[in-house]
Amino acid sequence: MVEKFAAYLKSRMPITAQQAEEAVSCLKTKQVKKGQFLLSAGDLKSEAYFVNSGLLRYYSVDEKGKEHIIQFAPEDWMVSDRDTTVFNEPSIFFIDAIEDTEVVVVKGDFFPAMKNIIPEILELNILMLHNSIRFMQKRINMLLSATAEERYLDFIKLYPNLTLRVPQWMIASYLGITPESLSRVRKDLAKRHFK
Q: What is the CATH number of the domain that holds 28?
A: 2.60.120.10
pLDDT for position 140: 95
Q: CA separation (Å) from 84 to 59, 87, 116, 141, 157?
A: 14, 6, 25, 25, 30
Which of 67-71, 83-87, 117-121 has the highest average model confidence (pLDDT)?
Answer: 67-71
- How confident is the model over 44-51, as a mean pLDDT? 94
- How confident is the model over 161-182, as a mean pLDDT? 96
Q: Is residue 32 part of a domain?
A: yes
Q: Is residue 102 part of a domain?
A: yes
Report the side by side order of strands in the sheet with 78-79. Answer: 28-32, 101-107, 47-53, 78-79
Q: Is residue 24 part of a domain?
A: yes
Domain count, the chain: 1
d(CA 143, CA 92): 20
Q: Is residue 150 part of a domain?
A: no
- How confident is the model over 70-99, as a mean pLDDT? 94
pLDDT for position 194: 54
Q: Is residue 188 part of a domain?
A: no
Mind listing the pLDDT tens digit for each residue in 61-79?
A: 999 999 999 999 999 999 9
